[in-house]
Amino acid sequence: MTAAEMLDRLVGFPTVSRESNLDLIDFVESLLDAHDVPHWRVESDDGRKANLLARIGPNVAGGVVLSGHTDVVPVEGQPWSTDPFTLTDKGDGRLYARGTCDMKGFIACALSEVPRWVSLNLEKPIWLAFSYDEEVGCIGAPRMIERLMAEHPRPAAVIVGEPTLMQPVVAHKGATNLRTTVTGRASHSSQVNQGVSAIHMAARLVTFIEDVMADLKAEGRVDEAFNVVHSSLHVGKISGGTAINIMARECTFDWEIRHLPSDRFEALVARINAYTTELEGDMQRRAPETSIVTETLNETVPALADDNNAEVLTLCHALLGERPAGAVAYATEAGQFQRHGLPTVICGPGSIAQAHQPDEYIEHDQLQAGTRFMAALGARLQQK
């Protein structure tokens, strides 16, 4: 099965993060069983989703982990011109469907190479590490990585196949999603001295969050390797109030911190918390029952630092030719692998510019480049 044929099968599974990915996992396991490849499920707590680990080659230390997530983002509200869960070739050099570049293209390149890999006398193993719920906070990968490290020989390197146009990426920002709920005191809007508007208080905090981002840049906390050179703080969603003539009792907003590898999430959120405490004190002097509560919506996805990666970069250069290494602003599972001491880079077919878009696509040329990469990896790891 070619990579394009494999991709056709994979995109047919509508593995939006809110849905189960088990049908796709069943399909992959059947393919691996057909070639006597050992594999292990690492399930979610509710059993509706699963990570999948597989090993091609000897059960020894070393080798390379190929990591990819099986979930995709939703398509609702997007103006697709084709069925998003049917691979469509329009004859323009592109293959269209949800997940083609992010990141079932990479998985397809790896799975299509399995028959060739098992025929080789590999000296070091190739690991497949396919996760769930990456798109909603890299939720599935940690338990898969823990299982890999606890129960199997230690790999030498990890390649996370997010779309990078097959350019090695050595750094990305960390990410944390948060929700802040402001509880005020409702009153008639003509009696502003009697109430505390949750919306007004939330607005102050939202503005302060943006000011912190400006402060970081002014303080010189920047990394020129990134196209957004500072840690970013962004409020993406807000709701509150019941009527124009009622001082709002509640206002909630969702926000995020994407921190540079050189910054720490804890230090950045501490700046927000200090102002929150001050603002809450002002509110409670007027109405003791008021409050501001912030909760994290996901475990912080660690940043990927450009560190301890010389060996895996050398491998990428050997497989791809010399290419400049870069940094990206989005978060991936790469930082989670690196946190366990595994040298990790990101490198995969397709462009991040197409990810999450209507009419998402991967170019034929990129899929072919990914296939060549997989073939070269097998040749590199076989016994001489």
Residue 193 CB-half CA count within 13 A:
0
Is 162 an active-site residue?
no
Closest C-alpha among 380, 297, 313, 298 to residue 347: 313
- Per-residue CA distances from 207 to 199, 258, 266, 293, 321 (Å): 12, 17, 20, 17, 47
Q: How far apart are CA 219 and CA 146, in angstroms?
A: 37
Catalytic residue among 134, 162, 263, 360: 134
Domain ranges of the chain: 3-171+303-381, 174-296
Q: What is the pLDDT of residue 324?
A: 86
Residue given tokens 């779309």 in the structure block: 163
State the pTM of this model.
0.90
Q: What is the CATH number of domain 174-296?
A: 3.30.70.360
Q: Which run of H or E residues covers position 283?
A: helix 265-286
Decide if 322 contacts 290 (C-beta within 8 A).
Answer: no
Residue given tokens 């595994």 in the structure block: 342
Q: What is the CATH number of domain 3-171+303-381?
A: 3.40.630.10
pLDDT per 10-residue tile (average), the chain, 384 residues: 97 97 98 98 96 97 97 96 97 97 97 97 96 94 97 97 96 96 97 95 98 96 94 97 97 97 96 97 97 95 94 93 89 96 97 96 97 96 81
**Amino acid sitting at position 203:** A
Catalytic residue among 71, 162, 256, 263: 71
Instruction: List all residues 6 or more positions away from 159 whose beta carbon is below 8 Å from its beta carbon.
Output: 64, 65, 66, 67, 312, 316, 344, 345, 346, 347, 348
Q: What is the pLDDT of residue 306?
A: 95
Q: What is the pLDDT of residue 384?
A: 66
Is 134 an active-site residue?
yes
Residue given tokens 């099986």 in the structure block: 70
Q: How far apart are CA 245 and CA 234, in angstroms?
A: 29
Q: What is the pLDDT of residue 323?
A: 85
Token pair of 112 as six digits: 């299509």
